[in-house]
Chain A
Amino acid sequence: MLKIIGGAVAAGALAAAALFGAAGAARAADDTIKVGILHSLSGTMAISESTLKDAMLMLIDEQNKKGGVLGKKLEPVVVDPASNWPLFAEKARELIAQNKVAVVFGCWTSVSRKSVLPVFKELNSVLFYPVQYEGEESERNVFYTGAAPNQQAIPAVDYLMKEEGVKRWVLAGTDYVYPRTTNKILEAYLKEKGVAAEDIMINYTPFGHSDWQTIVSDIKKFGSEGKKTAVVSTINGDANVPFYKELGNQGVKATDIPVIAFSVGEEELAGIDTAPLVGHLAAWNYFMSVDTPENKDFIAKWQTFTKNPKRVTNDPMEAHYIGFNMWVKAVEKAGSTDPDKVIDALPGTEQANLTGGVSKMLPNHHITKPVLIGEIRDDGQFDVVEKTPDLVPGDAWSDFLPGSKDLEADWVTLKCGNYNTKTKKCGGGA
């Protein structure tokens, strides 16, 4: 008897819990919304990623000063995946399952993004990824605020063809997925533009390569054919400094053989004496030197926040700025931090970027961005020499690769990240 009553009470309690469960859980999660930050603070990638952690802390701090989101304060949860790819997945799980964060901002390398993907799918959470990458991906749980290849690589090559009359191309990169895919896209694009195969030289080097003598002298030789030559560099972070030093020392000037880089920004140049590099180029969607009121404001806040009047800003920081504000808007629109509702609310969200335009989240989870080409100045900043008149929409699947030409990503109407327009099926290639 007692048992039955006990059972009934328990059942009642369960029902009550079901009724008030949502409110109770929200109460339990306290009066804050947790925001996960998944950037390496130690190991090789700390050089780039720890800055983004600080940028996120600043953005969250700003938002809290404005009153938070949905009347609640935001609470940052910082974890350190230590540049260790499997650890990224573990830490992502820790953030979502244990800390119950509403959203995660994080990752830098493509391999770290790939390693956390299954976790975000399984636990259904939201990831904002702020770095320019090779494309060929669109996931329901991920929002890509960095540039896709058509927002960086292709306009950069176009600029060199038009402005510098480049006829011969060196595609130099570090040997991993981003440079290999980007170079594949560029090679296909250049050939389509009528560049002969012998006018394209592709070169890969290991991570952290420091002996560039042979490669720089090869580039010099390649450039002596009488046709204007340029180097398109997808060389990753650390290897850039010795590369540029060797270029400078061997006397390769930007006026002879310009180098356009996709992973060298203000932060990377802070480690180099830039005087011999003046005139070499970089393609990004943001430069610190862009003269807009929004950007001035952002830089001032950043330098105050870091208490360092010389601290530089860079492109992935702007991507986080856009992504974070889009997330805030989407949460307010959805009236909830529930991942499904936020994922549905995000496409179409607009946010002013720092270069004077308004970026928009697209149904393929990429955003519209302007493309800027900058020349290195002797003070380590960039002079913007070209800016696309309109914002360029990010294309998840490149139009220049045979496998991905027919694919389309659309999470609003098609509900699919790799819809094949030929076979009319969701699920990638035929």
Chain B
Amino acid sequence: MLSGLVRLIAFAAFCAALVAGPACADAIDDALSGFTTDKYDDTDKALQGLVATAAPNGLAVIEALAAGRLLFDPESKTVLYKDASGALKLAKTGEPAPAELAGKPLKTVRVNNRLRRAVDAAGGAFELRSPDAAKRAAAARAVFKTRESTALPAIDHALADEKDAAAKKALEQARAAIILGKADAPEAERAAAAATVASVADPDALAALRTLPADTPVSVKAAAEKGVAAIERWATVANVIQNLVYGMSLGSVLLLAAIGLAITFGVMGVINMAHGEMVMIGAYATFLTQSLIGAYLPALNSASLVIAIPVAFLVAGAVGALIERTVIRFLYGRPLETLLATWGVSLILQQAVRSVFGPSNRTVQTPEWLQGSIEILGVSLTWNRIAIILFALAVFFALQLLLRRTSLGLQVRAVTQNRRMAGSMGIRTPRVDAMTFGLGSGVAGIAGVALSQIDNVSPNLGQNYIIDSFLVVVFGGVGNLWGTLVGALSIGVANKLLEPFAGAVLGKIILLIAIILFIQKKPRGLFALKGRAVEA
């Protein structure tokens, strides 16, 4: 396939000169006709045929096939494609399509995984000559992955006049991966290649080193084994780092979900079973914001998540304040009734959302800048997880600042420490109660924005987090935000350290038991409040 493409590039000019010649045109027609049968095997043959005949327009056709822009007219069996700008062109010549074809119901040539791989490989060889160094490097990495020996001439050719250091390194690694498995290459060169491949130290390198044929010379095998051992040695270290980082990431999700509860439950002492639904409302607010922006202000699309943060805060906060004013304020000091009433509220909210938005999941798009992942020290971290870690910490410190440095924060602390004293100092305690509950709910709404990126936006979203949130707050110590932070992160890390050998299900059970035992020993959690505040 790859060699074919190289040939295609080399001989394109040749057939282009002869395109009027009947032999060349017939072969191209034959090849193209394979695209019109709507069968994967025929499409594959057509792809190979296109390369073999070195059709002058072949590259454009192959690119169109990869992008799903290759079309055919089922009646006349004409193959067409849309170029990147959307103009309809004839596959054979690249000329604009006659107008009568444009109006017909054209079918797209379908691709499956096998074809997608073939097209990728073809594209890889093509991109080795791209003017963009980053693309050349990416193409070289694609070759490194496939280790297709037919790509060697193209790689050598590209290496000869490569100036960019990163692209050159990637090309050399790709070359090494091919040489390593090439039976007729000199033994010493292959052993050296093994070391180069091992230096890449990623899953593809491992695959390359492990899949040497049985008749490989001993020296090469030894070099490969040495490479594997080195990668695996590092892998055990990387594994620990990975689990720690994943634990931090899980912990930050827990922190986000629990931090609102740390205020409503931790500071105010309200057992709020509807807390999860505030998170869910925040997620739906995100969905609505994104849909509205998509419909009316498409220019702001990529910023819609950021815009959704204040929206979710205000919506969830307003709902929270409303619940406080209409239900909870009548139940202060009666924990059991509060529990039941808020449980009822949570069911009402769930069903309300289900009735309005339907029971199915809603799609919240992930903006481009949060997609994908980076590899640091062999640990692959997705951007959205990194963003959530930073976001959770930002919310935490903003909240600390609010409670410690503003007059609202002062009033909140005063009211929760001694309601009557605060009241007699002129603080309107009912208003502060509503504000505090609204604040806690609003923060839960913000958590909903973040969770919409990693979880389902469905009416059940909140349910999945309510238990974990209580766990974090109780474990960390009721009434202490720092306790919530430490509690969330330690539960997250412990969970991820347990998961690899205990499994996800058992891991969670072990963790629960550990926390129960811990609470038995220290009923007030990690950071227990001391002094008179405890009694209040």
CA distance A51 to B363 in the complex (A): 18
* Cβ contact of B505, chosen from A41, A206, A224, A378, cutoff 8 A: A206
* Cβ contact of A215, chosen from B208, B359, B504, cutoff 8 A: B504
A residues 66-115 near B (Cβ < 8 Å) are: none
Q: Is A44 an interface residue (CB 8 A)?
A: yes
Other A-B pairs beyond A203-B503, A241-B456, 6, CB < 8 Å: A46-B359, A206-B504, A213-B382, A255-B120, A258-B113, A270-B360
Q: Is B351 an interface residue (CB 8 A)?
A: yes
Residues of B within 8 A of A163 (CB): 112, 114
Q: Let me know if A213 and B385 touch, CB within 8 A.
A: yes
Q: Is B454 an interface residue (CB 8 A)?
A: yes
Q: Is A305 an interface residue (CB 8 A)?
A: no
CA distance A175 to B508 in the complex (A): 13
Q: Is B40 an interface residue (CB 8 A)?
A: yes
Whether A206 touches B203, Cβ cut-off 8 Å, given contacts A47-B360, A383-B112, is no
Residues of A within 8 A of B250 (CB): 211, 213
CA distance A52 to B478 in the complex (A): 45
Q: Let me know if B354 and A42 touch, CB within 8 A.
A: yes
* Cβ contact of B208, chosen from A44, A203, A208, A226, cutoff 8 A: A226
Q: Let me know if B458 and A271 touch, CB within 8 A.
A: yes
CA distance A209 to B359 in the complex (A): 19
Q: Let me know if A271 and B253 touch, CB within 8 A.
A: no
Q: Let me know if B456 and A255 touch, CB within 8 A.
A: no
How far, in Å, is B142 (CB) from chain A's closest CB? 10
Closest to B243 in A: A214
Residues of A within 8 A of B243 (CB): 214
B residues 161-180 near A (Cβ < 8 Å) are: none
**What are 29 A-B contacts with C-beta separation under 8 Å?**
A42-B354, A47-B460, A164-B114, A206-B505, A206-B508, A208-B463, A208-B464, A210-B464, A211-B495, A213-B246, A214-B500, A217-B242, A224-B207, A225-B206, A225-B210, A226-B208, A238-B458, A241-B455, A242-B455, A248-B371, A250-B382, A258-B113, A268-B361, A270-B361, A270-B363, A272-B363, A273-B363, A273-B365, A279-B116
CA distance A375 to B207 in the complex (A): 26
Q: Let me know if A254 and B362 touch, CB within 8 A.
A: no
A residues 19-59 near B (Cβ < 8 Å) are: 41-44, 46-47, 50-51
**By the criterion of a CB under 8 Å from any partner CB, how many residues of chain A are at the interface?**
55
Q: Let me know if B113 and A255 touch, CB within 8 A.
A: yes
Q: Let me know if A242 and B112 touch, CB within 8 A.
A: no
* Cβ contact of A249, chosen from B112, B210, B360, B384, cutoff 8 A: B384
CA distance A203 to B458 in the complex (A): 25
Q: Is A424 an interface residue (CB 8 A)?
A: no
How far, in Å, is B24 (CB) from chain A's closest CB? 32
* Cβ contact of B380, chosen from A211, A217, A238, A267, cutoff 8 A: A217
B residues 347-372 near A (Cβ < 8 Å) are: 350-351, 354, 359-363, 365-366, 371-372
Closest to B497 in A: A214
Size band of the B side of the interface? 35 or more
Q: Let me know if B112 and A226 touch, CB within 8 A.
A: no
* Cβ contact of B203, chosen from A42, A43, A223, cutoff 8 A: A223
Q: Is A387 an interface residue (CB 8 A)?
A: no
Q: Is B332 an interface residue (CB 8 A)?
A: no
Q: Let me know if B351 and A42 touch, CB within 8 A.
A: yes
How far, in Å, is B248 (CB) from chain A's closest CB? 11
Q: Let me know if A271 and B113 touch, CB within 8 A.
A: no
How far, in Å, is B491 (CB) from chain A's closest CB? 12
Q: Let me know if B246 and A214 touch, CB within 8 A.
A: yes
Residues of B within 8 A of A255 (CB): 113, 116-117, 120
Q: Let me know if B363 and A214 touch, CB within 8 A.
A: no
CA distance A267 to B362 in the complex (A): 11
Q: Is A3 an interface residue (CB 8 A)?
A: no
CA distance A224 to B114 in the complex (A): 19
Residues of B within 8 A of A12 (CB): none
Q: Is A181 an interface residue (CB 8 A)?
A: no
Residues of B within 8 A of A215 (CB): 504
Q: Is A245 an interface residue (CB 8 A)?
A: yes
Residues of B within 8 A of A258 (CB): 113
Residues of A within 8 A of B112 (CB): 163, 279, 375, 383, 385
Residues of B within 8 A of A205 (CB): 504-505
Whether A249 touches B500, Cβ cut-off 8 Å, given contacts A47-B359, A238-B456, A271-B457, is no
Q: Let me know if B362 and A224 touch, CB within 8 A.
A: no
Q: Is B190 an interface residue (CB 8 A)?
A: no
Q: Is A329 an interface residue (CB 8 A)?
A: no
Residues of B within 8 A of A164 (CB): 113-114
CA distance A238 to B458 in the complex (A): 9
Q: Mark A205-233, 1 if CB is under 8 A from B, else 0.
A: 11011110111011011011111000000
How far, in Å, is A382 (CB) from chain B's closest CB? 11
Give the top 3 A-B pairs by smallest Cβ distance, nearest first: A271-B361, A224-B203, A226-B211
CA distance A217 to B380 in the complex (A): 8
Of listed B351, B380, B500, residue having the most chain A CB within 10 A: B380
Q: Is B110 an interface residue (CB 8 A)?
A: yes
Whether A271 touches B360, Cβ cut-off 8 Å, given contacts A44-B460, A175-B505, is yes
Q: Is B187 an interface residue (CB 8 A)?
A: no
Q: Mark B505-524, 1 if CB is under 8 A from A, else 0.
A: 10010000000000000000
Q: Is B383 an interface residue (CB 8 A)?
A: yes
A residues 175-216 near B (Cβ < 8 Å) are: 175, 203-206, 208-211, 213-215
Residues of A within 8 A of B117 (CB): 255
CA distance A283 to B118 in the complex (A): 24
Q: Mark B233-253, 1 if CB is under 8 A from A, else 0.
A: 000000000110010011001
Closest to A239 in B: B456
Closest to A256 in B: B145
Q: Is A251 an interface residue (CB 8 A)?
A: yes
B residues 378-420 near A (Cβ < 8 Å) are: 380, 382-385
Closest to B504 in A: A205
How far, in Å, is A44 (CB) from chain B's closest CB? 5
CA distance A172 to B333 in the complex (A): 47
A residues 370-394 near B (Cβ < 8 Å) are: 375, 378, 383, 385
Q: Mark B462-499, 1 if CB is under 8 A from A, else 0.
A: 01100000000000000000000000000000011001
Q: Is A246 an interface residue (CB 8 A)?
A: yes
Residues of B within 8 A of A250 (CB): 373, 380, 382
Q: Let me know if B499 and A214 touch, CB within 8 A.
A: yes
Residues of B within 8 A of A276 (CB): 371
* Cβ contact of B366, chosen from A50, A211, A220, A273, cutoff 8 A: A273
CA distance A214 to B250 in the complex (A): 10
Residues of A within 8 A of B458 (CB): 47, 238, 271
Residues of A within 8 A of B456 (CB): 238, 241-242, 271
Q: Is B73 an interface residue (CB 8 A)?
A: no
CA distance A423 to B249 in the complex (A): 57
How far, in Å, is A246 (CB) from chain B's closest CB? 7
How far, in Å, is A158 (CB) from chain B's closest CB? 16
Residues of A within 8 A of B242 (CB): 217
Q: Mark B41-72, 1 if CB is under 8 A from A, else 0.
A: 00000000000000000000000000010000
Of listed B112, B204, B354, residue having the most chain A CB within 10 A: B112
Residues of B within 8 A of A224 (CB): 203-204, 206-207
Closest to B384 in A: A249
